[in-house]
Every structure is written in structure tokens, then in C-alpha cells.
Amino acid sequence: MKAHFVTFLSPGTFFHENTTKPIESWDVEKAKAMAKDIVERHGATPFAFYFTTRARGENELDSSQVAKSCTYYLGGKIETLAEVEARNDPKESILRSNMRCNGWDRIITNTNSWKVTQPLSAEDVVLDFKVK
């Protein structure tokens, strides 16, 4: 038995809010459409999503995750460490430090609802997305 899911990430107070829903396949366009109906606490809406597949064998009671996609960002502005350093905004000193210490070459900032800044890995995808 196998099932696919999409997990939407929205800005939260200490951790991201997340909502996981079943989906027939890893369909990016369907997930983008589903994202428009997700609203978390304080009106937060998704900035990203990822897919997972869970499966279980005939003699297994519980399923386990057998596959996970990259993160798909619902729009946003991509910046490199060089761009953030060149701006030299005093309010971003912690961001610059985090980027250097953690080896983050690129970040993405999304403002679909609340502002979220995340490291952007080479596998991640930034989608063209318009908030409803």
C-alpha cells in the first residue's frame, strides 16, 4: 500500500505551521492550487510545500516515509550571500552571520503572508505563484 501527501509550510511564531493533505501524485500544479485554500493561525498562508510518499508492507501495521521531494517555494526573492553582505543593513547582521556560519550561499525571502527568509538549497525550486 502506498499513498502520496503534500505538506504546506506557513510562517509560525516559533516553528513553521504545517498542513499535510493527501494528493494523488506529486503534481506541482495541483499543489499550487491547493495552497490557495490553506490558512493557518493569524492568517498565515503557505510560502512553500513538499511532497512525501508513505508505504507499508502487507504485514506492517504502520506506514513509513519512503520518499520526499525537494522544497517548492511559492514565489519569493532569491539573494546570494554577496548581495546580502553588499547591502550591509545593520538589521541583517544575524542573517549575514547565519549565512556565513551555516554555509548558505543563497536565501529566499517570501512575503505571501508574513515575511519568511529561508536558506535555498540547490535542489529547491522557486515557482511562479500569485496569491489569491
pLDDT digits (tens, 9 = 90+) for 17-36: 999 999 999 999 999 999 99
Spacing of C-alpha 16 from chain mean position: 9
Distance CA 121, CA 124 (A): 5
Say if residue 59's pLDDT is above 90.
Answer: no
Identify whether residues 35 and 87 lie together within a single domain: no
Identify whether residues 13 and 55 lie together within a single domain: yes
Domain termination residue (choose one: 58, 73, 88):
73
Identify whether residues 67 and 35 lie together within a single domain: yes
Identify whether residues 67 and 97 lie together within a single domain: no
Lookup: cell for 28? 506541482
Identify whether residues 59 and 6 lie together within a single domain: yes
Let me know if residue 89 belongs to a domain: yes
> Measured between alpha carbons, how far apart are the two ends of the chain, in Å?
36
Let me know if residue 131 belongs to a domain: no
If one counts the domains in the chain, the total is 2
The pTM (predicted TM-score) of the whole model is: 0.92
pLDDT band at 61 (very low <50, low <70, confident <90, very high): confident
Identify whether residues 67 and 92 lie together within a single domain: no
- For the residues 119-128, what does the mean pLDDT come to? 96
Identify whether residues 7 and 56 lie together within a single domain: yes
Q: Which of 54, 43, 47 is nearest to 72 (CA)?
A: 47
Tell me what the pLDDT averaged over the chain comes to: 95
Could you count the other beta carbons within 10 Å of the beta carbon of residue 84?
19
- For the residues 109-126, what does the mean pLDDT come to? 95
Say if residue 132's pLDDT is above 80.
Answer: no
The range of the structural domain enclosing residue 112 comes to: 76-120
Burial class (CB in 10 A: 0-12, 13-18, 19+), 110: buried
